[in-house]
Amino acid sequence: MARLTVDHIEETDGAVRIRLGDVPVDLPGPIAELALRQVAVRRSHAVLAQTDSPWLFPGGQPGRPISVWAMGERLRKFGIRLAETCSTALFQLATELPAAVLARTLGIDITVAVKWQRAAAGDWATYAAAASRRLSDQN
C-alpha cells in the first residue's frame, strides 16, 4: 500500500478502480471518494502543502513513498491492524474465488493463492466443470 502511485487509481465512466494486479477492481462509493481525495490532495508529514509526488502516500523524504512503518502508524491510529485486516480480506476472497482468479486479480503467485484457498477450505475443483455446464445450458 505504501508504494502505490496515483496511476494505481483510475476513474473512467463514473467508476473508480484500483489496479493491484492485472485486473482493476471497482471501489465502492465511500472508498472511491477517499481514493480520489487522496489523489487530489496528497501530503507527506514533512510537507504541509499539496505535493506533485507520483506516490499516493508521499514520504517524509522528497520523491520517496511513505515508509511501511509510518503507514502502519497512521493506520494503527485509526484502529486498523494490518496483519489481521490483510489476512481476513485474503481469507474471504479465497472462499469466493478460484485460486487462478485470486492470483491474477491480486498479482500474487498462484502457489500463494492455492495455500490461501486451502486454508479457507474453498473447494474449486469443480469450478471449471460447473462454469462449462452453465455455458452449455445457456446455448
* Residues spanned by the domain of 12: 1-80
List, for residues 6-34, the tens digit of each pLDDT value: 999 999 998 999 998 888 899 998 999 99
Number of domains in the chain: 2
Looking at the whole model, is its pTM more than 0.75?
no
Looking at 80, 102, 129, which one is the last position of a domain? Answer: 80
Q: For residues 39 and 123, is the Cβ–Cβ distance under 8 A?
A: no
Q: Clarify whether residues 75 and 13 are in a common domain.
A: yes
The angle subtended at Cα 23 by Cα 73 and Cα 16, nearest 5°, is 65
Q: Clarify whether residues 72 and 139 are in a common domain.
A: no
- Per-residue b or e along 94-131, where b marks 16 or more CB atoms closer than 10 Å to that residue's CB: beebbbeebbbbbebeeeebbebbeebebebeeeeeee
Q: Clarify whether residues 4 and 57 are in a common domain.
A: yes
List, for residues 89-124, the tens digit of each pLDDT value: 888 888 888 888 888 888 889 999 888 888 887 555
Q: Clarify whether residues 14 and 40 are in a common domain.
A: yes
List, for residues 63-80, the tens digit of each pLDDT value: 888 888 888 888 889 888
